[in-house]
Amino acid sequence: MGCVTLHLQKLSVGSTGIDSLADWQARLMVRRKKEGRPALPDHVTRMTPKRADEIATGGSIYWVIKGLMLCRSEIAGFEPTTKAGKPACRIVMKPGLIPVLPTPRRAFQGWRYLTAEDAPEDISEGAGPDNLPPALRRKLVELGLW
């Protein structure tokens, strides 16, 4: 039996929507390039996922923005690093965000594992109005209209 893909879910604190997360990642990639580092978005976390081998086989970070899981970033790998002088893990992502079927999520700290079965489906470009205000998008999801 092969290894099953596992994902992470993470709050995108400060993001107001997919566009603001994309803008943040674009600024990060410009800064990385200026520093002479690979121009890939990343997220530094205190702990390395214990199940990193399951995530490395096609896993993504599913981003929760304003209480809704709205998009995902494909994970390119994990690298050891330091944060405030302490060991940490850099989760390196491929550029670009993939919109997913909006799915309500409660707030949590850090990241959480997400099984492939529980991950929301990708939505194709133009399949839904992604510039809707978060409250309206949430109401549409709650009513089963999106």
For 56-114, the pLDDT digits (tens) are 889 999 999 999 999 999 999 999 999 999 999 999 999 999 999 989 999 888 899 99
Q: What are the residue ranges spanned by the domains of the chain? A: 6-142
Mean pLDDT of 105-124: 91
d(CA 122, CA 125): 9
Bridge partners (DSSP) listed for residue 100 = 122
pLDDT of residue 131: 61
Residues in the chain: 146
Give Cβ neighbours of residue 30 (< 8 Å, ≥ 6 apart).
Answer: 39
Q: Is the pTM of this model over 0.85?
A: no
> Cα separation of 60 and 94, whole Å?
9
Q: Percent of the chain at pLDDT above 70?
A: 84
Coil vs helix vs strand at 39: coil
Whether residue 132 has pLDDT greater than 50: yes
Residue 1 clears pLDDT 50, i.e. is over it: no
Whether 129 has a pLDDT exceeding 60, the answer reads no
